[in-house]
Amino acid sequence: MKGERRKVLYTRIGFLSIIMIVFLLTVAFEKPATAQTPAAKVIELAYTLHTPAPPAPPAKATADQAAVEWFAKEVDSKTAGRVKIKFFYAGVLGRPSDYLRMVGGGGVAQMGNIIGTYHMWEVPLFAGALLPFLTTDLDIEGRALTKLYNEWAPMREEWTKHNVKPLWWYVVDPYFLACKKTITKLDDLKGNRIAGFGGFGEIIRRFGITQMSVPAGDAYESLQKGSLDGLIFPYSSIRIFKYHDVCKFLVDFSFCGGQTPNAQGINLDVWKRIAPADQKIIEGISANMHGWFVKYFKENERDVTELYKKDGVALLSLSAGEQKRIKDTCAEPIWADWISKCKEKGLPGEEFLKRYRAIVSDLSKK
Asked whether 82 and 90 are in contact (CB, 8 A), the reply is no
Look at residue 63 in the predicted model and tell me its pLDDT.
Answer: 87
Specify if 339 maps to a domain.
no
- Is it the case that residue 12 has pLDDT exceeding 80? no
Is 160 inside a domain boundary? yes
Nearest of 338, 120, 135, 142 to residue 255 by alpha carbon: 135
Q: Calculate mean pLDDT across residues 301-321.
A: 94
Q: What percentage of the chain reaches a pLDDT higher than 70?
A: 89
Same structural domain, 119 and 216: no
| Closest residue by Cα to residue 278 from 105, 22, 24, 41 | 41
Statement to judge: residues 114 and 244 lie in one domain: no
Domain membership flag for residue 341: no
Using the predicted structure, report yes or no on whether residue 315 has a pLDDT greater than 70.
Answer: yes
Q: For 185-237, how does the pLDDT look when each residue is reduced to its tens digit (9 = 90+)?
A: 999 999 999 999 888 999 999 999 999 989 888 999 999 999 999 999 999 88
Same domain assignment for residues 253 and 263: no
**Both 56 and 82 in a single domain?**
yes
Residue 255: band (very low, low, confident or very high) from pLDDT cuts 50, 70, 90: very high
- Reply yes or no on whether the pLDDT at 123 is more than 90: yes
Instruction: Indicate whether 267 and 138 sit together in one domain.
Output: yes
pLDDT digits (tens, 9 = 90+) for 152-166: 999 999 999 999 999
CATH code assigned at 154: 3.40.190.170
User: Do 143 and 75 belong to one domain?
Assistant: yes
| Selection from 102, 101, 68, 105 nearest residue 87 by Cα | 68
d(CA 118, CA 258): 14
Residue 300 confidence (pLDDT): 84
Residue 134 is assigned to a structural domain of this protein: yes
Alpha carbons within 13 A on the beta-carbon side of 314:
12
- State the pLDDT confidence band at 172, using cuts at 50, 70 and 90: confident
Residue 126 lies in a domain: yes
Domain that includes residue 107, residue range? 43-171+259-305
* 49 lies in the same domain as 126: yes
pLDDT-based confidence at residue 302 (cuts at 50, 70, 90)? confident
The residue among 55 and 322 whose pLDDT is bigger is: 322
CATH number at residue 237: 3.40.190.10
Question: Would residue 201 count as lying in a domain?
Answer: yes
In a domain, 81, yes or no: yes
Same domain for 277 and 185, yes or no, is: no
Both 180 and 315 in one domain: the answer is yes
Amino acid at 195: A
Instruction: Count the domains in the chain.
Output: 2
Same domain for 240 and 318, yes or no, is yes
- Domain co-membership, 62 together with 103: yes
* More confident of the two residues 5 and 303: 303
Residues 228 and 322 in one domain: yes
Q: Give mean pLDDT, residues 266-286.
A: 97
146 domain-assigned? yes
